[in-house]
Each structure stands twice: as C-alpha cells, then as structure tokens.
C-alpha cells in the first residue's frame, strides 16, 4: 500500500501547490516513486497529457518535479469557469458537461466515483502519493458536497498538514479556526506550516507556541515569502508578476501580452520573461501597446467575450494601426481566432452570437464545434525547418485558410498537418507552449534586435534546464525551512 500525505490550506493561493511541488522533488531525490494528486482543480491553466487528456497545469508541474509522466488520474476533475455559461467540467481529461454552479453539486456522486477510481489507480502505481486540497477545507456550507478536501483525506485515512498564509494576515486565527471548524476530523490533522513569512522567525515564536497548545498540533516549519519561484501561478495574472514585468525597463525588445478578462494558459509566456533582452508585461493600456515591439493576444476561455472587450476598448483599432506601422502581432489559440476575419458559431459553443467579425489582420475564418481538440504536438517552422517546436493544442474550433506557418504532428492522433498562418508582421497559431522552444524564442527576439541595429544572440538559456533549476531551488528552500524528518514521519516513510 502506498504511503500518503495530504497538503491542505486555510485559503486559496496560500501556497499548497508550490509546497506539493517541492515535496514531490524532495521525495524523488530520495529515490521514492512518488506522484501528485488533486481530486478537483478549478483553473484556466491547463496541460495536455501524452494521450490527449486535459489536466490542471499545477499537477503537470508537480509530476515533472516527481520525475513521472503527467496523466489524467493526477487530476481527475478539472473545472474551467466559462462566464455566464457556468462551469465546464473535464473528467479524466475529456469534457463531461457544462453546468451552472447549482447544478454542478448534483453531480457529486458521479464525480466522486471518478476521484476514487483515479486514487485506486495511482495507489497501485506509486509508492507515495502527495495529495493537494483545494481552497479551504473549512467551507462548512459545502462539506456534504466535498470531493477534494476532507472527503479525500477521510477516504484514504491520509495524514493532513495544514498551510496558512501569513502574508495576507490573520494566519493564527485562520489555522485555529480551520482546525476547530473541522473537529470531527481532528485525528487526521498532524501539523501546520506557516507560509510566505517576511521577517525574522523569532518574532513568531510566542504565537506559534500558543497555537500549538491551543490546537495540539506541531508547527512543522515557517517558509519565507518567495519573490520569484520561476513556476507559473495557477490562476490569474498575479500582481507580483505584473510588478516584476514593469521593473525590467532597460531591455531592448518590449513584449506586451493583452490582459484578457478570460485569459487562459498565460504560462505560455513564462520563457519570454526570463530572456535577458526582453521586457514582458500584461496590459490593455494604449500607451503600453504604442511602445511595444511585439504584441501577443493570448488564449481565452471566452473568445467572443474577450474579442468584444477589445472592441469596446478600441484595442482592435489600435492593433490594426500598429500592424501597419510594423509592430509584430501574434495570436495564440483564441488570440489566433480573434485575428481572423470571422468567427462563426452555429452550435453556440462560445456564446449566443452565431457570427462575429474578427480583427481582420489574418485571412482566415474560424468555425466553432462542440468537440475540443486536445493533443500534444511537435514540428518545425516551415520557413526555417531547423527551428523545432513542441507544444500542445487545446481548442474548440477549426480555422480555415492557407495555413502553413508550422508543420506539425499531433502525437496522440498520429496526424501530420499544417498549423498557423503568417501575413507580413502578423501571425497566429493554435500551439500553446511554443516559446519553450529555445530556438524559436531567439528567432522571434533576434529579428527585433536586428531591426534596432543590435547583433543577434545565438543562445541565451535552455528553458528545460532553467525549469529544473527553479524546481530544485524551490525544493531546497522548502526542505531547509521545514522539519522534513518529522514530515516523513507523519507520512510513514
């Protein structure tokens, strides 16, 4: 039987995902076959597995930290907010239903069966399972509908470590309140971690000692606030990252990603922000667009709604003007669809509108279908075949036109085809993750260096190696600041 450990938090964004990522790497380094698990994840940051299944990005990163291949059992239920349409439910990597929040809870029995199926599979395949909770387990109005927090812990009889975020304030009250509201599960709580601390740990000692007495649980460590982990945030574009982008002002090439309301998979652009000669920022401000060398329209969960937003802000007009002036404009997935001439939705997949004019910078039209294309891809840039790419597709809709920017193979579908289109200084593609290709990143940036009279740079860094170093650094920091031996003792290792 696999050993178990569950990491829960007093709130969303308290650091559960990062701590699980670190523990996966620490465990891997001990030679133990470990895997991550999160029963239900709500996120617009997703990843496509080798067999074409869609899971939360956080679980894919955790699997990488654990040294195992991500699969759909690591996140059997993925929830993707879809605006007024409700919540799109992805079960074992495939779309199950789209429901409003009230109807969603009526699906508990069916979803719980999928959760336990995945747990039973992973427990047979691995020696150690590190489980992540979601939000707070102490949402007492929803306890009977829970399939991700205490329901999982109780089903497995898994020891739980509770994480509190001191940066947002009230950490002692939130830890105390969570444990006391869940007294029926008291035997499962084995300790707590204080995360995101700025300052000298000695200041906390009296409070920690008092809390340990009050809840009869040990403090297992105080983790410092990490300004930069190099690991993409799970939801939204955090203010921390926005501020980081704004600080890098001396780089010769400025890249602006449009900060869409329903932006998805913004992790596509993480490699660009670490390039030494780029300034990367998210913005919808006209002044930022006017000073940009490259503007990227990212993926969107609600393409029609975000295109409507760009029209209301007159950003579509600005983009057309900038394209005439030689600014490079790129569309990724939903952004690619927006750059076309028309978006046609006969099945009302995206909205109640059956047709919508695009920005009109690419000679293509997109027809939406209910079926979602999800697959990993590999290929090359058609104009320079030596520039190889890998990535993944995750979209509803097929775009028609003279495609030929990339030649790709859809690995899970064993299908070779052309993707994307380029028209002067405007191009679009369905492929997420292309900027993880070191050669493609340099190809993109170097063209603007040359345009500014600067010499091109042949190579700056390996994104794959840099990601590994980020995970190692995170793991070292967590290990240094936790009583790791006591953690292993709690897990029965």
Q: Which residues are catalytic?
A: 333, 432
Calculate helix-pair angle for 303-312, 315-324, nearest 10 degrees.
Answer: 80
CB 395 within 8 A of CB 373: yes
Cα 394 to Cα 56, 259, 417, distances in angstroms: 13, 19, 16
Q: What are the two backbone dihedrals, phi and then psi, of residue 281, each rounded to the nearest 5 degrees?
A: -145, 160
Give me the helices (H) in 254-340, please.
Answer: 270-273, 286-290, 303-312, 315-324, 334-339
Q: Which residues have a Cβ under 8 Å from the Cβ of 233 and sit 6 or more positions away?
A: 45, 241
CA-to-CA distance for 432 and 282, rounded, in angstroms?
Answer: 17
Contact 138, 32 (CB under 8 A): no
Task: Quote the CA–CA distance of 264 and 292 in Å, as a whole number.
Answer: 22
Beta partners for residue 372, in sequence order: 396
**Are 117 and 76 within 8 A, CB to CB?**
yes
Instruction: Report the alpha-carbon distance of residue 342 to residue 335 in Å, rounded.
Output: 13
CB 261 within 8 A of CB 305: yes
- Residues 28-39, buried b or exposed e (16+ Cβ, 10 A)? beeebebbbbbb
Closest CA to 78 of 231, 301, 258: 301
């Amino acid at each position: 039987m696999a050993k178990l450990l569950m990491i829960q938090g007093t709130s969303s964004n308290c650091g559960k995902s990062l701590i699980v990522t670190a523990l996966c790497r620490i465990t891997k380094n001990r030679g133990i076959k470990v895997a991550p698990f999160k029963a239900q994840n709500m996120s617009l940051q997703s990843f496509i597995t080798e067999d074409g299944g869609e899971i939360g990005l956080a679980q894919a990163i955790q699997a990488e930290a654990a040294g195992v291949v991500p699969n759909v059992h690591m996140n059997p239920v993925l929830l993707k907010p879809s605006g007024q349409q409700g919540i799109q439910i992805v079960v074992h990597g495939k779309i199950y239903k789209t429901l409003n929040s009230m109807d969603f809870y009526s699906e508990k029995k069916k979803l719980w069966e999928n959760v336990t199926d995945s747990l039973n599979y992973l427990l047979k395949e691995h020696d150690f399972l590190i489980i992540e909770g979601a939000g707070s387990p102490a949402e007492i109005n929803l306890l009977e509908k829970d399939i991700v927090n205490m329901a999982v812990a109780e089903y497995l009889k898994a020891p739980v470590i509770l994480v509190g975020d001191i940066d947002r304030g009230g950490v002692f009250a939130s830890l105390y309140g969570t444990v006391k509201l869940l007294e029926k599960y008291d035997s499962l709580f084995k300790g707590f971690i204080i995360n995101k601390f700025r300052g000298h740990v000695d200041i906390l000692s009296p409070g920690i000692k008092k809390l340990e007495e009050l809840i009869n649980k040990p403090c297992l460590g105080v983790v410092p606030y990490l300004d930069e982990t190099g690991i993409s945030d799970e939801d939204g574009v955090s203010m921390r990252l926005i501020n980081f982008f704004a600080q890098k002002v001396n780089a010769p090439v400025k890249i602006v990603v449009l900060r869409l309301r329903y932006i998805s998979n913004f992790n596509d652009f993480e490699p660009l922000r670490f390039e030494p000669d780029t300034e990367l920022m998210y913005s919808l401000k006209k002044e930022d667009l006017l000073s940009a060398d490259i503007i990227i329209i990212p993926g969107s969960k609600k393409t029609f709604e975000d295109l409507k937003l760009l029209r209301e802000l007159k950003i579509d007009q600005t983009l057309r003007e900038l394209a005439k002036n030689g600014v490079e404009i790129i569309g990724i997935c939903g952004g690619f669809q927006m750059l076309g001439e028309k978006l046609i939705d006969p099945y009302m997949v995206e909205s109640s509108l059956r047709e919508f004019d695009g920005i009109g910078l690419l000679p293509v039209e997109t027809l939406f279908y209910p079926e979602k294309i999800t697959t990993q891809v590999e290929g090359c840039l058609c104009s320079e075949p030596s520039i190889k790419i890998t990535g993944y597709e995750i979209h509803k809709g097929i775009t028609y036109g003279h495609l030929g920017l990339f030649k790709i193979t859809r690995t899970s579908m064993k299908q070779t085809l052309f993707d994307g289109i380029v028209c002067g200084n405007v191009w679009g593609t369905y492929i997420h993750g292309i900027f993880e290709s070191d050669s493609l990143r340099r190809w993109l940036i170097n063209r603007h260096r040359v345009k500014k009279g600067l010499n091109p740079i042949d190579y700056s860094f390996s994104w794959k190696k840099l990601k590994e170093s980020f995970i190692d650094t995170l793991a070292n920091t967590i290990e240094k600041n936790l009583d790791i031996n006591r953690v292993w003792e709690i897990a029965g290792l």
